[in-house]
Structure 1
Amino acid sequence: MHTIDRNIAPRRPPTTASVARGHRLDIQALRALAVTMVVVEHVTGRPTGGFVGVDVFFVVSGFLITGLLLREADRHGRISIAAFWRRRIRRIVPASVLVLVLGTAATWLVIGSSRGTSAAIDALWSVASLANWHFASTGTDYFASQGPESPFQHYWSLAVEEQFYLVWPLVVLAAVALARRRNETAVPRVALGFVLLLLVLGSFAWAWQQSVTSPTVAYFSSLTRAWELALGALLATAAPAMTRLPDVLRPPLAWIGLIGVGASAWVTTSTVPFPAPGALLPVAATLLVLASGTGCVGTPWLGPLVSRPVSIVGDLSYSVYLWHFVVLVIGRSVLGDDPAVLWPTVLVLTIALSAATYHLVERPLLSSPLLEPGPRARPWRRWRQEHRSTYRRGGVALLTGAALAASVVAVQAARPAAVPPVVPGASADGTVVTDTSGGSAAPGDDQALDVPALSEWSAEITQALSATSWPDLDPSLESVLDGTRTGSPHLACGDAEAQGLTPDDCTWASPTATTTVVLVGDSTAMHHLDALIPLAESPDGGFTLINRSKFACPFVDIRVQNDVAGILESCRAHNDETLALIDDTRPDVVLVTNSYQTLSEDGAGTITPDRWSEGFGAHARRVAGAARSVVVLTPPPDDADIASCSRRGGSPVDCISRTSRTWLDRAAADREVLDEVGGTFVDLRVLTCVSDLCPAFVGTVPVKEDRVHLTTAFALAVSPVLGDLLRVRQVL
């Protein structure tokens, strides 16, 4: 992604302008294609496999860096690691740090201090070249909220490359030094190739295993990505052999490779473990392009793909990669998700910032005497003279850009505040006539119930929907955003065995208990606990509540894909134990809450409504044979995340959730199963929504801590209303 291009082992002195400039235009085309795939996929969501552009960069980096090292060894009989690292630092660090500093400041100023603090932490990991391990760690922590994307999440791939730059040159240096001790004049390409082959095989095998068992760790890990960099390096060691490749084969190989790279963006799906074997196609296609242009004069014929515009995109690829995700995350927070506004704004800003960074930071500092040994006054003076005109023109461009940006900000600030939605059934003074439906969208049987407490609660929801500014919340909005709010001690029961808890620790009962209720499901069920426990422990509650819900473990007979290591086997075992417990104890009521987010089945892709119905039905039919009643309590609609939609100067209107198509399909599937087994479906949107409009707070309490999980404070506040609803529905 950020290396100097030079052809490797040409058969004869290069004569073309492209080679004279030190650029291989086929590699420029690869860079342009790869960064375009990544940016377009991040911004638009299509093609779904556009992220494989990162794999292209890995192969190219391994190839180019190894080629640089081997050519230095060929010319001088040794490798200067210090000089290599100085060049890498000048090439990578200035632009990277600039984006981190400006991106953190912009996040803090535009979105808020909580997101700014989080971005600063991510930036520090990125500066340390450990961003990939940082994101792998947070990605596998299923106690963590499903928080907003970090503006620096894309820095994980830079960290992988930087770790490669740190370790691999030492291996090449050791091989060259060992050859010299043996009085060998040739660079030990065969020995290095053998080492690389072992690395490829070991890393690929480990990547395949990790891709199946721990997908998030596999995606970010340097160990599971090493085979891609190593294959590029392996091709570089074989560069002399490429001189024997017939010229007539080179253009077809290059075209096949480029087409393969582009096709991989469309054919790569979540059904194939990634990065192994899922990255094989883009990696192999990239190797074809690199091989076709190695050991020859000039660049294989690629028509318009080696034109000047494509080469410019290749030049800008590093800066484009650095800026695009920062601009996207901040832009989405300010502009929302409207493609007509967001997409062109992100693309234009990314190109403008990337051009400025390339011309004012990347190129000048790469040729500067920064970090070079010896006297520096004269080299710096000469460098300033060479680049004085560049910075003059750049200063004018920056001032012009700043003026335009200020104008945009002023226009944005002058826009009318977001208008609250019109709530059907609300009178002019904001009071509710009557609407306890939770939404206009079926399914649900709760709209005609006589639940006075629910009517009063709906009035509070309607009042929250009319708010145009954030009230003083308890817990505060900042504490929800930065995770410092007081969490529930009962959440430990979501992983009771690992937390050392006994069944009694996760059982609550009323002194008058005559009914047994078992709660099953995933983390959304766990976040209902704080609403159910006060009902169970009240003097007249009349029931015992046993928790058998578990984080990342939906109560369905489906291997639901998850990033938690070992969770597939653990979840299957947990659900089997839960079913056995229900068979033995024959409880009166089994409450089921599963997430209605888009989920994938391990090895089979997205779970369809029919597949969900099949998987839930298998468990529900068995439970119905042992329990008096099977009851589904729906999760909150999976939509707005308060940490993503809230920003400085923003409005609660920006954080109103609505029911997704996936939620409705999943609910309908559950409803069909319950109709079959004689169960009860309770649409709990009545507790969070009015007419399918769901505010981020009710009263002074935040509703959700992320996209789907209720806050502890909200669960406690809504508990009496939930109790009345369940009693009216004859669940309790």
Structure 2
Amino acid sequence: MSRLSGLDLLRAIAVIWVMLFHSFLVGGLGPDFAWLSRYGWMGVDIFFVLSGFLIGRQVLAPLARGEGLSFAGFYSRRAWRILPAFAVVLAIYVAFPGLHEADGMAPWWQFASFTMNLLVHYDTQAAFSHAWSLCVEEHFYLVFPALAWCLTRRPSATKFITVCVLVLLAGIALRSGVWLHDNALDPPRNWYIEDIYYPTWNRLDGLLAGVVLATIAVYRPALWARMGERGNAFALLGLAMMALALWLFRQRGGLAGNSIGWPVLSAAIACLVVAAASTRSWIGRWRVPGAAWIAAVSYSLYLSHKLVFRAVEVHFDPWLHGRGLLAFAVYAVATLAVGAALHYAVERPFLQLRALRHASRRSTGEGRDTLTAAG
């Protein structure tokens, strides 16, 4: 699928929102701008919905055409995309403890095995903790292709809807049960982060919403086209539901948000994705200068921004302290510069190598690892 400016805009908003949220690590934006960062953690959920939609289309499109699904090819593409920049940032975290944004870090193998979000002790291992969302993404990449292949061997709308409803209800029930249990016992640790916010099984709502959109786009293209024609209506609905989600999460660790808040938030973002993917909506047509570039480097920005925050704080805090917008500008420029360096020096070359490898495989007729949708 070709790049769409609306989706780039959402991706850019997501990474900027997350970085604004994490500005608390260096003193925040001050009381006048706290509203910009308070709900910035929701930017991760934008990434989840986008990932479910884009990866879902990538996996489902060949299956819908009756073609084979190359598991090896899919995992290889994901590895070339994700691992190089991640490995560099992890190596920096391991080699330079002085750049940690928090005291203590989980063992390196938890990051390398993408199990950190399930095993971390947050109170004493908060450095590089934002890698939790990458763990969730990796678990999705691992499971979704096999699940999609199984469900599409004998396609059934009833079967698909049943699985989606079960995942949705299971998430609500599990989060609610864990919240009620931990809230009653109040264990002496950050149980909200460790038991509810980080674990993959509690964070499937956004990915599910994206996959639902992908399924409609691939298997019901006429319906998807009609949805696109009503892009502005979906944008308004998404904004209204986003307002409801903000209200449900007015207490971030409360029961309301962590029971039904996640599906409401994910549905709101899904509506915005519909609008962003439509060339008829104002979001889809709105080309914000710089948004496409920020979207392109967003992965590198996400990985590296806490390191940059800490480095700037260590070296320039005495000069920047209390300087408000000037301090914000210095942090922003440094973060964008390092994120761009990581993207152009590591991420992009490996993507180019991936493209060359793919072209070489196609020219030599490889693909024997293909498993057909018919079995």
CA 69–348 in structure 1, closer or farther in 2 if over 3 Å, else same? same
After superposition, residues 147-546 of structure 1 pair within 5 angstroms as 147=124, 149-150=126-127, 152-176=128-152, 178-179=153-154, 188=156, 190-214=158-182, 215-216=192-193, 217-239=195-217, 240=220, 242-243=223-224, 245=226, 249-257=230-238, 261=242, 268-270=249-251, 272-273=254-255, 274-292=257-275, 298=279, 300-302=281-283, 305-336=286-317, 338=321, 340=323, 343-369=328-354
CA 339–196 in structure 1, closer or farther in 2 if over 3 Å, else same? farther
One of 62, 65, 83 as aligned partner of 1:75: 65
Structure 2 Cα separation of the partners of residues 175 and 248 of structure 1: 29
Structure 1 Cα separation of the partners of residues 174 and 11 of structure 2: 28
Structure 1 Cα separation of the partners of residues 146 and 235 of structure 2: 32
Structure 1 Cα separation of the partners of residues 100 and 22 of structure 2: 20
- Work out whether residues 12 and 294 of structure 2, in 8 Å CA contact, stay in contact via their aligned partners in 1: yes
- Work out whether residues 149 and 329 of structure 1, in 8 Å CA contact, stay in contact via their aligned partners in 2: no
CA 111–281 in structure 1, closer or farther in 2 if over 3 Å, else same? closer
Structure 2 Cα separation of the partners of residues 266 and 319 of structure 1: 31
The one-letter amino acid of 2:109's match is L
Q: CA deviation at 1:306?
A: 2.7
- Work out whether residues 172 and 192 of structure 1, in 8 Å CA contact, stay in contact via their aligned partners in 2: no
Structure 2 Cα separation of the partners of residues 374 and 36 of structure 1: 34
SS of residue paired to 1:68: helix
CA 333–280 in structure 1, closer or farther in 2 if over 3 Å, else same? farther
Structure 2 Cα separation of the partners of residues 189 and 356 of structure 1: 45
Name 1:36's counterpart in structure 2: 16
Superposed CA offset, 1:584-625 (max 9, x none): xxxxxxxxxxxxxxxxxxxxxxxxxxxxxxxxxxxxxxxxxx
**RMSD value, Cα:** 3.4
Name 1:132's counterpart in structure 2: 117
- Work out whether residues 225 and 275 of structure 1, in 8 Å CA contact, stay in contact via their aligned partners in 2: no
Structure 1 Cα separation of the partners of residues 275 and 293 of structure 2: 22
SS of residue paired to 1:307: coil
CA 224–148 in structure 1, closer or farther in 2 if over 3 Å, else same? closer
CA 265–325 in structure 1, closer or farther in 2 if over 3 Å, else same? farther
Structure 2 Cα separation of the partners of residues 220 and 75 of structure 1: 36
Find out whether 1:50 has 2:34 as its counterpart.
Answer: no
Superposed CA offset, 1:8-43 (max 9, x none): xxxxxxxxxxxxxx1122211111111111111111
Structure 2 Cα separation of the partners of residues 375 and 314 of structure 1: 28
Structure 2 Cα separation of the partners of residues 257 and 129 of structure 1: 32
Structure 1 Cα separation of the partners of residues 234 and 88 of structure 2: 39
The one-letter amino acid of 1:284's match is A
Structure 1 Cα separation of the partners of residues 358 and 227 of structure 2: 44
Structure 2 Cα separation of the partners of residues 247 and 86 of structure 1: 32
Structure 2 Cα separation of the partners of residues 325 and 265 of structure 1: 25
SS of residue paired to 2:82: helix
Superposed CA offset, 1:463-513 (max 9, x none): xxxxxxxxxxxxxxxxxxxxxxxxxxxxxxxxxxxxxxxxxxxxxxxxxxx
- Work out whether residues 171 and 205 of structure 2, in 8 Å CA contact, stay in contact via their aligned partners in 1: yes
Structure 2 Cα separation of the partners of residues 107 and 123 of structure 1: 12
Superposed CA offset, 1:169-220 (max 9, x none): 11112223x33xxxxxxx5555334322211221222123224444221011
CA 74–248 in structure 1, closer or farther in 2 if over 3 Å, else same? closer
CA 68–374 in structure 1, closer or farther in 2 if over 3 Å, else same? closer
Q: Which runs of 5+ in 1 are unaligned?
A: 1-5, 7-21, 140-145, 180-186, 380-732
CA 66–148 in structure 1, closer or farther in 2 if over 3 Å, else same? closer
Q: CA deviation at 1:48?
A: 1.6
Structure 2 Cα separation of the partners of residues 98 and 365 of structure 1: 12
Give aligned pairs, total: 334
CA 106–345 in structure 1, closer or farther in 2 if over 3 Å, else same? farther
Structure 2 Cα separation of the partners of residues 58 and 130 of structure 1: 18
CA 252–359 in structure 1, closer or farther in 2 if over 3 Å, else same? farther
- Work out whether residues 205 and 263 of structure 2, in 8 Å CA contact, stay in contact via their aligned partners in 1: no
Structure 1 Cα separation of the partners of residues 242 and 15 of structure 2: 12
Superposed CA offset, 1:211-242 (max 9, x none): 44442210111111123211221222122253
Q: CA deviation at 1:147?
A: 4.4
Structure 1 Cα separation of the partners of residues 275 and 136 of structure 2: 26
Structure 1 Cα separation of the partners of residues 210 and 151 of structure 2: 18
Provide the TM-score with structure 2 as the length reference.
0.77
Superposed CA offset, 1:239-277 (max 9, x none): 225335265521232255357658966873326335433
Structure 2 Cα separation of the partners of residues 374 and 317 of structure 1: 26
SS of residue paired to 2:68: coil
- Work out whether residues 9 and 292 of structure 2, in 8 Å CA contact, stay in contact via their aligned partners in 1: yes
- Work out whether residues 25 and 299 of structure 1, in 8 Å CA contact, stay in contact via their aligned partners in 2: no
Q: CA deviation at 1:156?
A: 0.4
Structure 2 Cα separation of the partners of residues 24 and 190 of structure 1: 31
CA 63–225 in structure 1, closer or farther in 2 if over 3 Å, else same? same
After superposition, residues 616-627 of structure 1 pair within 5 angstroms as none
One of 97, 103, 127 as aligned partner of 2:93: 103
Q: Which is helix-richer, 1 or 2?
A: 2
CA 280–172 in structure 1, closer or farther in 2 if over 3 Å, else same? closer
SS of residue paired to 1:238: helix
- Work out whether residues 151 and 160 of structure 2, in 8 Å CA contact, stay in contact via their aligned partners in 1: yes
Superposed CA offset, 1:660-683 (max 9, x none): xxxxxxxxxxxxxxxxxxxxxxxx
The one-letter amino acid of 1:192's match is F
Q: CA deviation at 1:352?
A: 0.5
